[in-house]
Structure formats: C-alpha cells, structure tokens
Chain A
Amino acid sequence: MRSSPSQHTEGMSARFRESMRRIRYMVRKEFLQLVRNRQNFRLLLMAPLFQLLIFGYAVRLDVQDVLTVVVDMDRTGLSRDIVDSFSRSGYFRIVGNLSSYDEADRYLERGWATIAILIPPDLERRIKGERTAEVGIRIDGVDTTTASTVSGYADAILKGFSAERLEARIARARGIRYQRNQPDVVTQQLSVATRSWFNPNLESKDYFVPGIFALILTFFTITVTSMAVVREKERGTIEQLMVTPLSPLELVLGKTLPCFMVALANLVTITFLGLFWFEPVVRGSIPFFLGVGVIYVLTCLAIGMTISTFCSTQQQAMLSSFMVLQPAVLLSGFVFPIHNMPPIIQYVTFINPLRYFIVVVREIFLKGLGWDVLWPQVVPIMVMSVVFILVATMLFRKQVD
C-alpha cells in the first residue's frame, strides 16, 4: 500500500499527539506527587525566597569599621593627630585605648580587635628632633582579605602623615615657615585620582547579590530533580512505569517538566523579590536575564536528571548532588576569583555551567551588557543543556533495557 506524504505526516502528528497525551498524564501524576504533600509544597516555593532574604544581607566584603585598639604611650598632640587620622578615614573603629602592648596582643589573639596601633613614648620628641619614629601596626592576618586591605590603608595614612612633615621641613628649610600661600613654594607632590567603573562606590553588595540569585537557583533545581527518578527506583514503582507504553524520552520529559515549572516559578519570584528588596544596580535588560535563566534552569535540570539515573537510593542521590554542587559553587568565581586558580583547575571550571551564569548575571546587572558581548557565556550554557539532556536520556534508556 502506498502512502502519500500527507498521510505520512498525519501518522506522525497522530503519534505525536498520542505521545503528548502520555507525557501530559505523566506530568500530572508527577506534579500531584510533588505538591500533594503540604510540607513539600511549602518548601519548594518558600525556601528559595527565605534563603534569598537571609543570604542577601550576608554577602558583603566591604572593609569598614575594622575593630581597632590603640596603645598611645606618647599622649601628645602629634600622637592624637595620628589616631585621629585613622578614625577619620572611616575604615577603622577604635574600640579601646589600652595601656600596654601585651594587652593589645591579647585583644588580637581573642579576635576582639583586628588591628592594633602602637605609638612609642618618644614619638613627638623624635619627630621634632628630625629623627625617625617607628609606629607599630599589628594586624590579625587570619582573614587575608581584610588584613591586606587594612594594612594598605594604615600604610597609606602613616606615609601621608610622614609626607606632610617632610613638606613642612622643606618649607622651613627655605625659611618660609608654614606660609603655604606663597606662590613659589616648590615641593614635589604626587597623588592618584582613581575612578572605578561599573561600581563607582565600590559596594560589594551590587557584585554579590545577583550572584546569590544564581546560587539559590542552582541549588534548588539540582537537588529537587536529582530525587525524581531515584524515588521511583527506591520504592520499586519504576517497574510499573516501565510496563506502561511510555518511552524513555517521554518518561524523562514527564519527570522533568514539573520540576521545570517549579524552578521557573522560583526564577521569577527570586528575581523580582531580590530586585525589589535589595535594590541592586540594574543596568541591563531583565527579560534578557530571565531568558538566559530559563536556559540555565534547563541545564541544571538535566544535570539533576543525570545524577538521578546514576543512583539507586535517595541517600546516594543527595550525596552525589552535594558532590556536584559544592565544586559548582566554589569553582564558579562567585567568591574565589577563577584567575587565581591553578591552570588545570581553570580548565575544569569550563565545564561548570554556574561559572558562565555568574558572569552573565553580573555583567547584565552591573555593566548592562547584552547578547552581543555575552554570547560566549550564553552559548556554553545552551550547549551544556543539550548535552546533559542527551546524556540523561541515554543513561535512562540503557537502564530501562
């Protein structure tokens, strides 16, 4: 019997409709299973929002109000000037005036102070006598980021102070004696005018809060999806599913679509709550962000699904998700810069979808960039989503056979 092309396509579309119907049933069953339990339902929708609110406030790396103790053995106008210039700078909060160096060490040891300023008893005498006075700065080096910033500030403040004294001496040497308005005063001066782009006030909030969106989304999507197939396996209901006319692809789709819907709901709620609550700088296009977000969610789903096909108990699935999630988070560049990592690890980060998504999120929010610049980040996410969907389906088909 000859079949015309139109009949052929009709057959195809009928099969397709049939397949869609099966997937729809499967999705309905899965969805009911996911939300029937009230606790699950609340957890799935509320937990990401709750996390956003709590963590959004935590991610600040600004160095300010560093706990400072002062041991001023000199107690002269000059030593007070030095202490003043520290507290005026806004970076140091003086929490104690101590009387001995040992006491300052005790504060540092117990973490009550991060920096101690030690002014020797002969400070003014030495400076007036045109000799060098040594000001001691002791810094708790345990938190290296704070310590290196703080030591830079302290150094710059003391150097600036030193330069002022030198200028005064040069002026005196010329017999001008503090008449600073003389036009012929010749001193060499040098200063730096710095300008930071994209984040002129150097607020770390604007850098980290968008990253939190990406983190929560990844976490949530991978953990929820990784449980999907395993649950059936552990309970033994997987056999029942296999005797149904569902094909492996339909089964995978039926399993993932409900997770996908919940993840999408979270993407939207997290984004809008985050924007409304933390008011990070938004220079780029939110629809573009959401678009990339949808693709990214797909990638995470596929990864979760792959984990799910590997494991046979929910405990294994959970440990495996953690095994995937922790490297994904720590090797994403969220806090630890990728260019600081050894080259081998830098190559490893290329297969981490979160690495690309974090860049996309930050560049959209802070720099307002679009597809024309960000395509090298978006394309890998797309490729990975396709690859992982294929891998998950393949593994699953193998298991069914």
Chain B
Amino acid sequence: MNFPRMLAVTRKEAFQILRDRRSLYLALGIPLVLLVLFGYALSLDVDNIPMAVWDQERSPKSRELVDRLTSSGYFTMVMYTDSYKSMVDAIDQRDAYIGLVIPWNFTRTLTHKGGATVQAFLDGSDATRAGIAIGYLNVITSIYRNDLLTEELRRQAVQKVDPPIEPRINLLYNPELKSRINIIPGLVAIIMMVIAALLTSLTIVRERETGTMEQLISTPIKPSELVIGKLIPYFVLGYVDMLMVYLAGQWIFGVPFRGSTGLMFALSGLFLVGSLAFGVWISTVAQTQLAATQFALLGTFLPSFLLSGFVFPISNMPLFEQLITYVIPAKYFIVILRGIYLKGVGIEVLALQALALVIFGVITTSLAALKMGKKLR
C-alpha cells in the first residue's frame, strides 16, 4: 500500500465531487430533506378511527357504550345512521371506517343468558389497521362488561367488589407508542444506505464509459489503493450527512437519545464503509452507468425498506425470506440505531450486529478490490 498514491486518487476524486456542484448539493441535501419531510409526515398511529353508529335502542346503556368508545380517543363519531344501507355506503365511500350496530333489545339482552351482542362492520382491506381497531373495540367493550358485572355484584349486596385480575400493561422504551420515535432511526438507516451506495456506484463505471479507465490502467496504482483512495472523500461526505441527520432528529423531532453518541457514530462509520464499498463493487461489476444505477437502487432502497424490519416485522416472513434478510446490512444498522436511540443499550448488547457490519465492510471492500484488480490488469 503506497499512501501518497492513494491520497492522489483521493484528491482527484474530491476535486471531481466538488466540481459537480449539483451532485454535491443533492448528496448533502437529500438526506436532510427526506428525513425532515418523512419524520414529519409518516406515522403509523391508529387513532381517531371514523365510526358510524346505528343505535337502534337509544337507551342510557347504549349511549354509554358509544360514549366510552369516543372518549377513548381511538374512535371519532362521524355519523349516526338508521339503516344498514347508509352505513354500508359510508364505509364504501371511506367516510367511515367502522360501523357499529347496537340492537334494539340491547339493555334487555344484557341481563339475559348469552348476553348482548353488538355488531361491528369494518373495512378490512388494510388488515393491520382493521386488526388494531378490532382490538380497541374488544378492550373497551370488555372493560364495559366488567363494570356492568361489578355493578351487578354490588346490587347483590356484596359490599366491596374488586376486579379479580388487573392487567398492569407497561410499554417499554416508547410508552406513548408514538410511531415517529420508531420511524426516525429506521429512516436514518435507509437513507444512509441508499445515499452511500448511490454516491459510489458510478465512480468506476464512469471512468470506463468516458474512457479514462485506460489512463488509470497505465498508472502504477494498485487495486486496493484505488478503491480505498476513492472511498475516502465519499466517507467524509457520508459522515457529514450522518451528522446532519442526527442533529435534525434531535433538534427538530426531539427523538429520545438514551445511549452513547460516540458508540453510534463509531458504528455508523462501520456501516458507511460497508455501504460505500458496496457501491464501488457495483461500479466495478456494472458495464454501463445505466446498469450501475439499476443495481444500486435495486440493491439498496427497496431491500432496505422492505426487508430490514423497518416496518414489516422480520418474524412474520417465511423462513427462506428471513434467511435473505441476513444479507441486508440495514437490518443490523436499524437494530443498532433503535437500540442506542430508544433502549439506550451499549456495545455488549449490540456486539453481534457490530460484528455483522464489520463482516459486511470486509466482504464488500475485498470484493471491490478483487474485481478492480482484474480490471486493472
């Protein structure tokens, strides 16, 4: 390894980056703009579910049920209806998401064997949202049922009635279940993965397409020097991106940061090296810039978005798909970021993920250098 030679490549590449101002602005601006936009816009919270009610009884008991549903904050009343037809229409036109039918004999059947049954219709096309809405509905009605039973026991002259079981539900790390707190660390991982790979994916293939590759071949440079020399300026650029994104998360969104900043930046460095080298490797494999961009986008954005556990839980996937996720570096980086941001855990918990990132970096850098070696010869 000859350092002056390597640094010469670094300098040349840095000049090239600085000269293409538009690309430079895009490289620095995209991560920040995207993080701010999405951090602000994206949420998976399910509340204020629009509800249409057909209360056939209009009694104190039935009104109390509706009150309990709306005062929970999870359901918002959008309309009272008096027929199935208008309720169905409201759901079809997406004005209401859930339709509740309280039968005309609600109060009477409450005290009958078998009990009263309330009917709920909902638009199930978004299965997750429907599942959560059904969950809320079940919990609120079962609380109501428990209260009715307790009332009944009191009436039967049992002086003091305690509920037999009291669930103490404790939501760790994110007690208000604000999805934004979870989404932002994930977004950081995805944006950094794509930007890093996109930045470097054209470096080599561009030399080929513009014909400057021959000039490089005629110099005494070694493949590893070329790869590392080309990586350095992009590494600096990537770190600046990372810093901006981190500050935006803290200042704009106030995402809790419970772990060590030093550890996060150290592990981010590992991740950056791997993703940048991944881009260089793509650049040596691709024969045209078109192919390089396709490879880079194919290899980073959708896999990091869909296979990293960002939104879609990995445990839900079939086994072979879970195996595929092991080669998605964003998966490890998301675990690391969520761990440091939300759980405040240290390296002793994240050691496996850190190791995975080291392996990723070593593999991509050596693949790039190997492939480059063949090209230079």
* Contact B26 A37, beta carbon cutoff 8 Å: no
B123 within 8 A of A: yes
Q: Please state if B164 and A337 are interface contacts (CB–CB under 8 Å).
A: no
Q: Which of B202, B209, B312 contacts A318 (CB 8 A)?
A: B202
> Quick one: given A39-B286, A314-B290, A336-B42, are A139 and B170 in contact (CB under 8 Å)?
yes
- Max chain A CB contacts within 10 Å: which of B27, B135, B167? B167
CB-contact partner of B148 in A153, A188, A316, A322, under 8 A: A188
Asked whether A57 is an interface residue with its Cβ less than 8 Å from the other chain, the reply is yes
> Please, which residues of chain B bring their CB within 8 A of the CB of A83?
none
Measured CB to CB, the nearest residue on chain B to A48 is: B298
CA distance A109 to B138 in the complex (A): 29
Q: Which of A62, A127, A190, A231 contacts B115 (CB 8 A)?
A: A190
Asked if B117 lies at the interface with its beta carbon under 8 angstroms from chain A, I say yes
Q: Tell me the nearest residue of chain A to B338, going by C-beta.
A: A142
The chain A residue sitting closest to B16, CB to CB, is: A315
Distance to closest chain B CB from A33 (angstroms): 10
Which of A111, A127, A207, A321 is within 8 Å of B125, CB to CB? A207
In the complex, which residues 109-165 of chain A have their Cβ closer than 8 Å to any Cβ of chain B? 109-111, 127, 130-149, 151-156, 158-163, 165
* Stretch touching chain A among B6-14, B247-255, B260-268, B342-350: B342-350
Residue in B closest to A319 when the chains form the complex, CB atoms = B26
Known: A37-B291, A192-B120. Is A143-B162 also a contact (CB below 8 A)? no
Interface flag for B128 (CB, 8 Å): yes
Are B22 and A190 neighbours in the complex by a CB distance under 8 Å? Answer: no
Task: Bits for A30-73, please: 1 = Cβ < 8 Å to B, else 0.
Answer: 00000001011001100100010011011111111111000000
At the interface with chain B, which of A1-9, A285-293, A326-334? A326-334
The reply to whether the CB of A340 lies closer than 8 angstroms to some CB of chain B is yes
Q: With an 8 A cutoff between CB atoms, is B359 at the interface?
A: no
Q: Mark B301-316, 1 if CB is under 8 A from A, else 0.
A: 1110111000111011
Q: Nearest Cβ in chain B — how far from A65, in angstroms?
A: 7
Q: Give the residues in chain B near A325, CB-CB below 8 Å.
A: 297, 301
Cβ B113 vs Cβ A319 within 8 A: no
Most chain B beta carbons < 10 A, residue from A145, A146, A153 = A145
Q: A399 within 8 Å of B by Cβ?
A: no
Q: Is A183 an interface residue (CB 8 A)?
A: yes
Assess whether A186 is interfacial by the CB under 8 Å rule. Answer: yes
Residue among A54, A138, A173, A235 making CB contact with B156, cutoff 8 Å: A173
Q: A134-B168, A140-B172, A319-B26 are in contact. Are A174 and B121 (CB under 8 A)?
A: no
Query: Are B44 and A145 interface neighbours, CB within 8 A?
Result: yes
B313 touches A146 (CB 8 A): yes
* One of B23, B43, B298 near A313 (C-beta < 8 A): B23
Considering only CB atoms and an 8 Å cut-off, how many residues of chain B contact the other chain? Answer: 123
**CB–CB B152/A170 < 8 A:** yes
Q: Once the chains bind, are A203 and B286 in contact (CB under 8 Å)?
A: no
Q: Which of B33-41, B220-228, B369-377 contacts A (4 or more CB under 8 A)?
A: B33-41
Main SS class of interface, B: helix
A131 and B164 CA atoms in complex are apart in Å by 6
How distant is the Cα of A110 from the Cα of B114 in the complex, in angstroms? Answer: 44
Determine whether A233 belongs to the interface, using a CB cutoff of 8 Å to chain B: no
B287 close to A (CB within 8 Å): yes
Report whether B167 and A142 are in contact in the complex, using a CB–CB cutoff of 8 Å: no
A197 touches B91 (CB 8 A): yes
B289 close to A173 (CB less than 8 A): no
A130 touches B317 (CB 8 A): no
Bound complex: CA of A187 vs CA of B43, how far in Å?
42
Bound CA span A153–B138, Å: 8
Q: Is the CB of B1 closer than 8 A to any CB of chain A?
A: no
A187-B152, A336-B44 known; A362+B125 contact, CB < 8 A? yes
Are B26 and A316 in contact, CB atoms less than 8 angstroms apart? yes
The answer to whether the Cβ of B208 comes within 8 Å of any Cβ in the partner chain is: no
CA distance A193 to B167 in the complex (A): 24
> Please, how many angstroms separate the alpha-carbon atoms of A145 and B130 in the complex?
12
Contact bitstring B106-149, A, C-beta under 8 A = 1, else 0: 00001111111111111111111111101111110111111011
A-contacting residues, B272-310, CB 8 Å = 286-291, 293-298, 301-303, 305-307
The reply to whether the CB of A367 lies closer than 8 angstroms to some CB of chain B is yes
* Assembled-state Cα–Cα distance A25/B153 (Å): 88
Q: Which of B125, B141, B202, B301 contacts A190, CB < 8 Å?
A: B141
Supposing A163-B146, A224-B294, A337-B126 touch, asked if A144 and B44 sit within 8 A by C-beta, the answer is yes
Does B179 have its Cβ within 8 Å of any Cβ on chain A? yes
Q: In residues 145-190 of chain B, which contact A (Cβ within 8 Å)?
A: 145-146, 148-153, 156, 158, 161-175, 177-179, 182
State the Cβ distance, A282 to closest chain B Cβ, in Å.
14
B161 nearest CB across to chain A (Å) = 8
Q: What 1/0 flags go to B85-112 for Cβ under 8 Å of A?
A: 0000001000000000000000000111
Give A19 to B317 CA distance when docked, in angstroms. 53
Q: Which of chain A's residues has its CB closest to B307's CB?
A: A58
B334-355 interface (Cβ within 8 A of A): 335, 338, 342-343, 345, 349
B177 near A147 (CB under 8 angstroms)? yes
- Does A130 contact B162, Cβ atoms closer than 8 Å? yes
Instruction: Give 4 nearest A-B pairs by CB, closest first.
Output: A189-B115, A152-B135, A196-B124, A141-B174
Question: Told that A60-B313, A132-B164 touch, could you supply 6 new A-B pairs with CB distance under 8 A?
Answer: A58-B321, A139-B169, A156-B139, A194-B134, A195-B119, A219-B297
| B residues apposed to A, CB below 8 Å | 20, 22-23, 26-27, 30, 33-34, 37-38, 40-46, 65, 91, 110-132, 134-139, 141-146, 148-153, 156, 158, 161-175, 177-179, 182, 191, 194, 198, 201-202, 206, 209-210, 286-291, 293-298, 301-303, 305-307, 311-313, 315-318, 320-321, 324, 335, 338, 342-343, 345, 349
- State the A residues within 8 Å of B (CB): 37, 39-40, 43-44, 47, 51, 54-55, 57-67, 82, 108-111, 127, 130-149, 151-156, 158-163, 165-167, 169-170, 173-174, 183, 185-200, 202-204, 206-207, 215-216, 219, 223-224, 227, 231, 234-235, 311-323, 325-327, 329-331, 335-337, 340-342, 345, 362, 366-367
Return 22 A-B CB contacts under 8 Å, by A number.
A60-B316, A62-B316, A133-B164, A170-B152, A173-B158, A188-B151, A190-B115, A190-B116, A195-B121, A197-B121, A202-B131, A234-B209, A234-B210, A313-B20, A315-B23, A316-B22, A316-B26, A326-B301, A327-B34, A327-B38, A337-B126, A367-B125
